[in-house]
Structure 1
Amino acid sequence: MIKVIVVDDERFVRMGIVGETDWASLGCEVVGEAENGLDALELVQKKNPDLMICDIRMPKMNGLEMLKKLREEKNPVQVIFLTAYSEFSYAREALKLYAFDYLLKPFEDGELESAILRAKERIETDRGKQRDTGLSRSVPDKAPVKEQYPGALEGDGPEINAAVIRLCLPFDENTAGLTGYIRDAVLYMASHYGESTINVAKIAGAVGISEGHLSHCFKKETGYTVMGWLTRYRMKKAVELLSDHRNKVYEVAEKVGYKDIAYFSNTFKKIAGVAPSEIQEK
């Protein structure tokens, strides 16, 4: 079993996480709770957890300060941060401290459980490596975002900034489980997102159903409007392009379907929390 502690200064949040999660089915058990970073440090020493689910903004010591101390002590606990604040600086620091994941409150149904299962898989993989090598637990050398951006922690330039935005911009483009025409609509948008004239009518025509039916079913199945999904997909692609400093912002805007750079920049900042130019700052 994976040992878990839950850290949040709001008692009802802790109660919700502990009481409404089917820990047994996840192969986990909650071994303790704390309401601030200082108490969490003591709890870690007593319980030696594998996984911590932790708020960032807390009194006495916030989650980032707490994790920094744990990393200084070479503690390898995996951490899933929960926060109501989509703040660039928070996500950036979380990445540097090798947090496993960063979820924005309120999270969608199943989002926390999915993160826990992925963390559990990582923990069990690390345990296997320890058995094979005979070495003790060590500080994580990779996080999911680190694997997507292998150079992200080597400096303070575009790659780490892009990785941070990926933390702040959760978005699943996987078509597995989608019904036929919804999947077709997603695939069509993924292939034509660079066209500035794409709209619901064109997408509906391409998959052979009415605009109204597509709009209703798409929202019900994915949680996004059709154009909302397209916008997030475009922003995801923009992040990938902006991680290469050779790409100018206006060029990226055009490549992801925006003729108006000001509109692109405003949309990007609204969704990602920072301006596109900030990603490329050294």
Structure 2
Amino acid sequence: MSLRIVVCVKYVPDATGDRQFADDLTTDRDAVDGLLSELDEYAVEQALQIAENADDAEVTVVTVGPEDANDALRKALSMGADKAVHVEDDDLHGTDAVGTSLVLAKAVEHVGYDLVVCGMASTDGVMGVLPAMLAERLGVPQVTLLSELSVADGTVSGRRDGDTASEQLQAALPAVISVTDQSGEARYPSFKGIMAAKKKPVESLDLDDLGIDAEEVGLEGAWTAVEDATKRPPRTAGEIVTDEGEGGKQLAAFLAGQKFI
């Protein structure tokens, strides 16, 4: 029986761009280019490695987002994933992590899965809670923040590295896992992979397809909200210290004043 691997990925604003809030205090996605979250590239890479070491496996990437989120799926497909699912619906605008976990859970169940792979966090929200929420909704074990992993005999095993110790963890499939940026460098799509990705299937779904009411997601259904936001002040000129024998003291005083030391 084929090992069904589902990778949850996110289309995020480019961190190098000028990110800002829209009038409704959601991320203004029209103001900056987007791309596949870098931390999710590690999840795609680990899923592909698991598939390559399995006798028979299929990798499906799933995303929830606007029309442009299709670019994130195509990037994952060009890396080597087999197919993709894109959940797009106008009523999803403003959905928080709780609502996103609901939509992803329904999409993952729609696809069918043995193993769900996520990145450790998104590079825009940086909450890191979605894998746990997803596992709870699916009713399966979670093994999160893995820097090394393997799948064999119906079990996923991995190592979680902490500040003072490392843990060896395992769970029976089906399960949800997340991987860190220490799990292995993501492969760069080849020209052949990019061309092949154009022919790979991308299934489009909306809330009706997944049996989700609009009131459960979007700004109306969000459990969290941004109440106020202020633009970052423009960068000011730095303080120049002229060293005439007291430069070290002046530098130390400046660092202490900024509470760096």
Q: Name the TM-score class by shorter chain.
A: under 0.3
Please state which structure has a larger fraction of its residues in strand.
2
Give me the TM-score of the superposition, normalised by structure 1.
0.25
**Higher RCO (Cα < 8 Å, 6 or more apart):** 2
Give me the TM-score of the superposition, normalised by structure 2.
0.27
Please state which structure has a larger fraction of its residues in helix.
1
